[in-house]
Amino acid sequence: MLLSELKPNHDYSKEGKYIIIKLWKRKNDYQEIAIDWFDYNPGNKFDWLIVREYDMDHRGKKKYTNYKLENIHEEVRVQVKVFSKKGEAVCI
């Protein structure tokens, strides 16, 4: 799926989903980041992608981060949250 096909400013965690984006670090090296919300933030020199990361930080709060849109790979994965209930994996 492409990032441009997803709805910006939409809380995917309410649907039990999260998105895996790929952030370009260096030549042929991408870091995968799990997010559950994103929006576009146009700037003077660059377009930015503001994201809310899926995992909470050490204080138990969601982390919001800006990334240059040109450093984000257009292809993303949408995942369904899975949790364990009495030893069995259950999708929500």
pLDDT digits (tens, 9 = 90+) for 28-40: 899 999 999 999 9
The candidate with the shortest Cα–Cα distance to 8, out of 31, 57, 42, is 42
Can you tell me the distance from the alpha carbon of 91 to that of 26, in angstroms, rounded to the nearest whole number? 35
9-29 mean pLDDT: 93
Beta bridge partners of 85: 88
Q: What is the pTM for the complete model shown?
A: 0.80
Residue 22: the pLDDT is 96
Is residue 92's pLDDT more than 50? no
Residue 83: the pLDDT is 60
Is residue 70's pLDDT more than 60? yes
Query: Which sequence spans correspond to the domains of the chain?
Result: 3-91
Which residue in this structure is represented by tokens 């930015």? 48
Q: 52 and 63 in contact (C-beta within 8 Å)? A: yes
